[in-house]
C-alpha cells in the first residue's frame, strides 16, 4: 500500500475509534496535546488532554478516600463489581478487541484473546473473594489460639505498557478490588483510548451493583504523571510493567518511602530443543512464540538453543513457516503479523540486526521492512544464526528477532539459557523425561516460568506470572499472587484465665 492509501485509511480508523468509544459509553476526550496514533498507519486517531500533577494528585486522593469504606465491604460483596465487569467485557469483547488492534496493532485473534484473558481473571477473582485464607497455627501456650488474617492493603497504583494495554490492568485490578483495595491506573501514553474504555466499563459495573465508582481512578499522561504514583506515600503498592530501565528508576523511589513494588520488567526468553524433540510440534510453538504480536511480548521467544544434530531440520521447518507468514494490516483477515508500535521500535530492530551480523551472525530469513506507509513500520520476522551468545543476544530487543545458538551437551544448553540478565519465561522441547525434569530442577531454568513442549508465550491466568533477576521478581494473575495486594496480621487470642509468656519466660 502506498503512502497515499495509508493516509486515506487513517480517517476511517479515527472515525472507528470514536465510534467504539461511544459504544462503551465513554465521553469523547476533549482535544489536547496527547496525540494518540495508530501503528497501523502511523496516523492520528484522536488527541486528548493529559492529566496535570494537580489532577493526578486529586485522583489519588479520591482513591484513598474511597478505600476507607471499600476495605470494610465483605470480599464476596466486593466481587459483585468484578462479576459485572466480566459481564460487560463479554458483551463488548469484539469492540474492545478492535480498539486494542487500532491502538496497539495486534491482529484480531490476539486482541480478542487479550480481552478473553480479562474475562478469565475476573472469573478467577470472583472465586478468590471467598478464598482469602489465613492459617491457624498451634500455639505453644495453653488456652491460646495463634492465627493469621489478611486485610486490604490500600491504594494500588498500576502502570501498564502498550503491548498488553488491557489484560495486565485487569490482572491487577480484578485482584485488587476483591482484596479490598482501590486502584489508580496510569496506562501507557501510547494506548490511552483502551484505558478510557476499560475505565468506563468498570465505573459502569460499580454503579450497576450499587458500589462506589471512585474505587477506580484513571490518570493519563507521560512519565511525570506516572511519577505521582511512584512517589505518593498513599499508594501502598505500585505494580509497574515496562522496561528494566524503568524498573531501576521506580524501585528505589518506592523503597525509599517504604512502599511495595510489584515489577514485571524485561524478558529475553529462550527455548532449548533436544535431539528427542517432536520437531513438528516444536516448530509450530516456536513460530508463534517468536513472531506473534510482532515480537512485542515480554514473553516473546528471542533465543533458540538447538542441539547440533537437529538444528538443520528444525530451522528448515521454522524458516519455511516464517516465509509464509502474512505481514500487514492487522484488521485484514489472514494477517498474522501486524506492525511494530512506532519508528523507535523499528530502529532498535535494525540496529540489533546490524550488531548481530557484525558479530558473525548469519541471516537465515526476514528482517526487512514491508512497504505500507511512510509512518508505519511493518517488518518480516527475522531469524539469525549466531556463532555465540554475544552482547546483543543477551539484550532484549522488543521486535521479532530470533537468535539461534547450538549446543551438544544439555548442561551447556542450560548454562547458555541462564547466562542472560533476564529471567521471565523459558521452554524445553523434549520427549525424554530426564531432560524435562533436569530443566525444571533447581539447577535448571532460572526463570519464573519454565515450560515443557510449549512455547514461552501464552501463559494461562491460573498460574502466577512473573520472573526473576532483571525481570523484577513480581508475580501477578493466578496462584497466590493475591497476597501482594493485602497485608498480613498475626493474631494471638488468649481465651484462658492465665497469662503464660512465650518461650517459657517468667516475669514476676
Residue 8: the pLDDT is: 85
Q: Which residue has the cell 525424554?
A: 432
Same domain, 291 and 155: no
Give buried/exposed letters for 5-15 (b at 16+ CB in 10 A, else e): ebeebbeebbe
Alpha-carbon distances, residue 204 vs 28, 73, 209, 326 (angstroms): 16, 19, 9, 39
Query: What pLDDT is stored for residue 5 in this prediction?
Result: 57
State the total domains in the chain: 2
Domain of residue 274 covers 269-460
CATH of residue 107? 3.40.605.10
Looking at the structure, do residues 285 and 383 belong to the same domain, yes or no?
yes
Q: Is residue 357 located within the same domain as residue 409?
A: yes
Q: How many CA atoms lie within 13 A of 150 on its CB side?
A: 21
Q: Max CA-CA distance within the chain?
A: 91
Q: What is the mean pLDDT of each run of 10 residues along the chain (508 residues)?
A: 67 97 95 97 97 98 98 98 98 98 98 98 98 96 97 98 98 98 98 98 98 98 96 98 96 98 97 98 98 98 98 98 98 97 98 98 98 95 98 98 98 98 98 98 98 96 97 97 98 96 90
Query: In this structure, are 251 and 319 located in the same domain?
Result: no
399 within a domain of the structure (yes/no) = yes
Q: How far apart are CA 396 and CA 380, in angstroms?
A: 18
Between strands 144-152 and 486-494, the pairing is: antiparallel
DSSP state of 179: T
Rounded Cα gap, residues 303 and 320, in angstroms: 18
Residues 410 and 431 in one domain: yes
What phi and psi values does residue 270 have, to the nearest 5 degrees?
-130, 155
Q: Are residues 405 and 479 in the same domain?
A: no
The β-bridge partners of 34 are 48
Residues 280 and 249 in one domain: no
- Other CB atoms within a 10 A radius of the CB of residue 151 amount to 14
Q: 210-246 burial, b if ≥16 CB within 10 A, otherwise e?
A: ebbbbbbbbbbbeeebbbbbbebebbbbbbbbbebeb
Q: What is the pLDDT of residue 4?
A: 52
- Three-class secondary structure of residue 50 per DSSP: coil
Q: Cell 494537580 maps to which residue?
A: 54
Cell numbers at residue 152, please?
Answer: 486490604
CA separation for the pair 401, 116 (Å, rounded): 27
pTM, 2 dp = 0.96
Confirm if 471 and 267 have CB atoms less than 8 A apart: yes
- H-assigned helices in 3-107: 3-24, 53-70, 75-91, 93-104
Same domain for 232 and 335, yes or no, is: no
Q: Is residue 435 part of a domain?
A: yes
- Residue 149, CA distances (Å) to 134, 136, 485 in order: 5, 9, 13
Catalytic annotation, pick one of 103, 264, 396, 476: 264
Instruction: Judge whether 466 lies within some domain.
Output: no
Is 12 a catalytic site residue? no
Q: Which residues of 115-128 are buried (b: 16+ CB within 10 A; e: fewer)?
A: bbbbbbbbebbbeb
- CATH code of the domain containing 422: 3.40.309.10
Judgement on whether residues 259 and 364 belong to the same structural domain of the protein: no
Amino acid at each position: 500500500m502506498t503512502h497515499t492509501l495509508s493516509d486515506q485509511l487513517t480517517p476511517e480508523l479515527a472515525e472507528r475509534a470514536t465510534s467504539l468509544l461511544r459504544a462503551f459509553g465513554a465521553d469523547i476526550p476533549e482535544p489536547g496535546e496527547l496525540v494518540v496514533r495508530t501503528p497501523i498507519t502511523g496516523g492520528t486517531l484522536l488527541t486528548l488532554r493529559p492529566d496535570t500533577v494537580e489532577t493526578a494528585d486529586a485522583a489519588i486522593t479520591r482513591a484513598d478516600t474511597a478505600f476507607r469504606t471499600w476495605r470494610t465491604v465483605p470480599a464476596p460483596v466486593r466481587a459483585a463489581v468484578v462479576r459485572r465487569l466480566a459481564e460487560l467485557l463479554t458483551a463488548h469483547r469484539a469492540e474492545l478487541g478492535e480498539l486494542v488492534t487500532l491502538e496497539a496493532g495486534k491482529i484480531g485473534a490476539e486482541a480478542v484473546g487479550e480481552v478473553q484473558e480479562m474475562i478469565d481473571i475476573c472469573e478467577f477473582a470472583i472465586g478468590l473473594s471467598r478464598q482469602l485464607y489465613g492459617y491457624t497455627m498451634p500455639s505453644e501456650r495453653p488456652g491460646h489460639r495463634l492465627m493469621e488474617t489478611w486485610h486490604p492493603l490500600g491504594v494500588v497504583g498500576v502502570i501498564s505498557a502498550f503491548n498488553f494495554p488491557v489484560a495486565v490492568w485487569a490482572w491487577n485490578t480484578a485482584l485488587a478490588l476483591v482484596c479490598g483495595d482501590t486502584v489508580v491506573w496510569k496506562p501507557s501514553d501510547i494506548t490511552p483510548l483502551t484505558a478510557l474504555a476499560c475505565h468506563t466499563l468498570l465505573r459502569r459495573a460499580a454503579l450497576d451493583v450499587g458500589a462506589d465508582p471512585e474505587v477506580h481512578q484513571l490518570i493519563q499522561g507521560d512519565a511525570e504523571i506516572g511519577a505521582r504514583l511512584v512517589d505518593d506515600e498513599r499508594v501502598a503498592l505500585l505494580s509497574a510493567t515496562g522496561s528494566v530501565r524503568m524498573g531501576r528508576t521506580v524501585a528505589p523511589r518506592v523503597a525509599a518511602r517504604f512502599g511495595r513494588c510489584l515489577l514485571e520488567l524485561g524478558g529475553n526468553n529462550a527455548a532449548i530443543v533436544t535431539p528427542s524433540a517432536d520437531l513438528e510440534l516444536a516448530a509450530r510453538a516456536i513460530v508463534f512464540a517468536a513472531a506473534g504480536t510482532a515480537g512485542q511480548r515480554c514473553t516473546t521467544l528471542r533465543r533458540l538453543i538447538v542441539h547440533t544434530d537437529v538444528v538443520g531440520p528444525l530451522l528448515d521447518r521454522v524458516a519455511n513457516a516464517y516465509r509464509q507468514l502474512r505481514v500487514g494490516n492487522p484488521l485484514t483477515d489472514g494477517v498474522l503479523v501486524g506492525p511494530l508500535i512506532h519508528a523507535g521500535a523499528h530502529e532498535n530492530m535494525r540496529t540489533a540486526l546490524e550488531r548481530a551480523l557484525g558479530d558473525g551472525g548469519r541471516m537465515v530469513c526476514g528482517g526487512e521492512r514491508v512497504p505500507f506507509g511512510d509512518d508505519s513500520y511493518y517488518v518480516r520476522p527475522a531469524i539469525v544464526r549466531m556463532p555465540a551468545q554475544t552482547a546483543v543476544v543477551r539484550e532484549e530487543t522488543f521486535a521479532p528477532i530470533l537468535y539461534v545458538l547450538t549446543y551438544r551437551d544439555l548442561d551447556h544448553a542450560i548454562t547458555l539459557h541462564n547466562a542472560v540478565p533476564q529471567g521471565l519465561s523459558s521452554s524445553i522441547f523434549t520427549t525424554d523425561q530426564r531432560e524435562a525434569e533436569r530443566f525444571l530442577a533447581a539447577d535448571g531454568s532460572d526463570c519464573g516460568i519454565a515450560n515443557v513442549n510449549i512455547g514461552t508465550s501464552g501463559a494461562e491466568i491460573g498460574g502466577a506470572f512473573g520472573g526473576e533477576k532483571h525481570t523484577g521478581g513480581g508475580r501477578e494473575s493466578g496462584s497466590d499472587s493475591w497476597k501482594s495486594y493485602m497485608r498480613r496480621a498475626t493474631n494471638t487470642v488468649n481465651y484462658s484465665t492465665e497469662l503464660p509468656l512465650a518461650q517459657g519466660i517468667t516475669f514476676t
